[in-house]
Amino acid sequence: MVFRDLFADTVRTLWSHKLRTFLSMFGIAWGIVSITLMVAAGEGLRVGLQKQGELFGKDIMIVFAGRTSLQAGGMRSGRRVIWLDRDAVAVQQEATACKYVMPELGNNSPVRSLYNSGNILITGSLPPFAEVRTLPVAEGRFYDWQDEAEGRRVVFLGSDTKKQLFGTRNALGETIEIRGIPYVVIGVMREKEQSSSYDGFDVRKVFIPFSSMMRDLPNAPPKPANSVDRLLVVPKSWEEHEACKLQVRRTLARLHDFDPRDKEAAGIWDTVLEAKANEMIVGGMKYFLGAVGVTTLFLGGIGVMNVMLVAVRERTREIGVRKAVGATRRAILGQFFVETLIVVFLSGGVGMGIGYGFCALVNNIIPMPPFFAGLLADWKTGLLVSVLLGSVAILSAMYPAQRAAAVDPIEALRYEAGG
């Protein structure tokens, strides 16, 4: 029997048992839909959390000065520690595992434009601050190293601050006054959603070069004039993250005479560690959901196998007649094997179409929360589903096909006649 005749005969057989075929296909299709949706949901959660983290900052550690909890160098515990502007330079030189070490200072100050005014948080740091803290530019530019070196009085406005001071008017090139000191607007930030912060949301701030901040808006007494609020640290890579953290603590401990093991003296908000923990949690959830879908798929495969075994029993006489008139074991084996493959792959195609179509529909019509990027069914999901589907097809086809091919034609004719 040529393959075309075998295929046509198999389709006719399946069509003549429509209910049985439908029930077999439903189990496989449901498993495919389950895998697709569960893996897509896990990936959407992972990407959403990653994007939320990057909106706050890319792999940063925020180092806060606190109070010593351990005695060191003959000095008592409970002593207040204050970071100074020169600390960042020293740490950057000694912490070889760190890509950036930047000082940051922020003070609320009265800000006035020609159209409105308000008490707004002014933040000063170095030019890489825009990259590290993810400050997207809508208009103009962020301040650069030339602005920093010359202490230029230029500002980059958060999106909400721009609306507050200028409304819908153009802000680029305009002058605002910070504590009566004129600053020129060189850029405006694009709107962004931010789920966490240590001193306020970036869209409501004004950003100026660190040198200008230390000159015009330093900390007021009793804090030293050259003090800063915190240090922003970025490791060179995730692998060097712990080394960077240790080097930062060690250098600061030497500069300020505290024990490098004293975590209270130098508290660190470690977003890198949080990102790693989130990735592990979401990854575990993704694999768990995928395992549930795989289990559903293989249960569907078992259902197909059972249905095909019933088909072998129902068609015992038919198989006997075929073998009696010359059908080979290979031909019988091929017929049942092809029949199972058609059921599995046809239902798999329907399931993938429903799964991917549902993902696209949900992503296009339902607004997603900030931490969820949608149902992301990518090519990896499709490849995984295809491999699993092929495995289910082969496993569910082998045993029924072998049972059918092993039927004794004489016993088969006698069995049916006796029935």
Higher pLDDT, 2 or 304: 304
- 331 and 189, same domain (yes or no): no
Q: What is the pLDDT of residue 92?
A: 94
| pLDDT per position as a tens digit, 144-184 | 999 999 999 999 999 999 999 999 999 999 999 999 999 99
300 and 217 in one domain?
no
Number of structural domains in the chain: 2
390, 340 in Cβ contact below 8 A? Answer: no
Strands 98-112 and 117-125: antiparallel
Q: Are residues 215 and 327 in the same domain?
A: no
Same domain, 162 and 235: yes
Same-domain status, 16 and 87: no
Q: What is the pTM of this model?
A: 0.64
Amino acid, single-letter form, for residue 139 = E
Residue 35: inside a domain: yes
Is 282 found in the same domain as 147? no
Residues 34, 112 within the same domain: no
Residue ending a domain, choose from 264, 288, 320: 264
User: Rounded distance, CA 207 to CA 105, Å?
Assistant: 10
**Tokens read off for 10:** 């198999």
**C-beta separation of 141 from 187 below 8 A:** yes
Q: Tell me, yes or no, whether 269 lies in a domain.
A: no
The per-residue pLDDT for 367 is 80
Is 154 part of a structural domain of the chain?
yes
What's the pLDDT at 413? 60
Cα–Cα distance, 99 to 105 (Å, whole number): 20
DSSP readout, 78-138? T-B---BTTHHHHHHHH-TTEEEEEEEEEEEEEEE-SS-EEEEEEEEE-TTHHHHTT--EE
Q: What span, in angstroms and rounded, lies between the C-alpha atoms of 7 and 16?
A: 14
Residues 47 and 77 in one domain: no
SS3 193: coil
Query: Is residue 140, in this structure, part of any structural domain at all?
Result: yes
pLDDT digits (tens, 9 = 90+) for 362-394: 888 878 776 677 788 777 777 777 777 777 767
Length of the chain: 419
Q: Evaluate whether residue 271 is within a structural domain.
A: no
Question: What pLDDT does 17 receive?
Answer: 63
pLDDT level of residue 311 (50, 70, 90 thresholds): low
Whether residues 84 and 187 share a domain: the answer is yes
Domain end call among 212, 237, 264:
264
Contact criterion met (CB below 8 Å) for 44 and 376: yes
Q: Judge whether 62 lies within some domain.
A: no
- Of 201, 235, 264, which one is at a domain's C-terminal end? 264
Domain assignment of residue 162, yes or no: yes
Task: Answer whether residue 41 is part of any domain.
Answer: yes
- d(C-alpha 191, C-alpha 189), whole Å: 6
Q: Are residues 8 and 152 in the same domain?
A: no
Predicted confidence at residue 417, as pLDDT, reads 44
Q: Say if residue 184 is in the same domain as residue 247.
A: yes
How do residues 13-69 score in pLDDT, each as one tens digit?
Answer: 666 666 666 766 777 787 778 778 877 887 777 777 666 655 555 678 899 998 888
Task: Please state which of the ranges 55-59, 275-279, 413-417 shows the lowest mean pLDDT.
Answer: 413-417
Domain that holds residue 368: 3-54+276-418
Each residue's pLDDT tens digit, 95-137? 999 999 999 999 999 999 999 999 999 999 999 999 888 898 9
Whether residue 167 sits in one domain with residue 94: yes
